[in-house]
Amino acid sequence: MKKTCLMGLASCLTLSLSHAAMADDLSVTTSIDYVSEYVFRGVSLARGAVQPGIEVSKNGFTAGVWTSVALGEASSAAGDEVDVYAGYGWSLNETVSADIGATIYHYPDTSGSLFDFGDASTFEVYAGLGFDAPLAPSLYGYYDFDLKAFTVEGGVSHSLPVSEKTSFDLGLSAGLVNADGGGDYEYGTGSIAYSYGLTDTASVYLGANYSLSSSKSLNFKIDGNGNAFTNKKDKFWTGIGISTGF
């Protein structure tokens, strides 16, 4: 399930109003990442994945498509994912920004169309606030109508410039998932990434992430021989990616 920005560091920096594009002019951003593990809200969804995406922004409106293609022996269990999202961000005052929007999570390996909600897709809305303050704190709420799950997630982030083109980017986030019928859990993620600006409009990153979750362990069958991997409560993964804008 999509988390905006580059996966790796970005999985925990979703809360920095990355959905909201405040630029007045039309802008297009493309990205492609590789992650050693695809972790979403503390739950592992794939052991290795390539994740390309494209996003268009204008006057605070943002829309995009993001995909995750599982790799390796676990790919038959994890499956692929296509997310289509749109949102709008605006400033409430000099220090507070708001962000609202919606996401369709589609699983093409499941029989059904993009709008086959409850089977091949789920529909989620979100709203959040970001603060122009030290550590850029933010708070988001998400509700998935098909999973009947409500998530609250807060986070902080900080960038440490190393040179004109490089920086270390740090982030922490924590969340609570409340699901109808049980399955509630809490999670937290810490991330660090080294970013390098190739040009004025292109950059690359190398990141590391660690996540803790109170969710119950799950086993996923990955082949006909019964091999499986365990969705552990603590996870470490790395990511590398490139993004360009124009």
Let me know if domain 10-219+232-245 sits in CATH 3.10.20.310.
no
For 146, residues 6+ apart whose C-beta sits below 8 A from its C-beta are 117, 118, 121, 122, 123
For residues 35 and 53, the answer to whether their CB atoms sit within 8 Å is: no
pLDDT of res. 216? 64
**Domain extents for the chain?**
10-219+232-245
- Give dist(CA 57, CA 55) in Å, integer: 7
For 212, residues 6+ apart whose C-beta sits below 8 A from its C-beta are 42, 187, 188, 189, 233, 234
pLDDT in tens, 158-217: 999 999 999 999 999 999 999 988 889 999 999 999 999 999 999 999 999 999 999 865
pLDDT of res. 24? 55
What residues of the chain score a pLDDT lower than 70?
A: 1-24, 72-78, 216-230
pLDDT of res. 229? 58
pLDDT of res. 224? 45
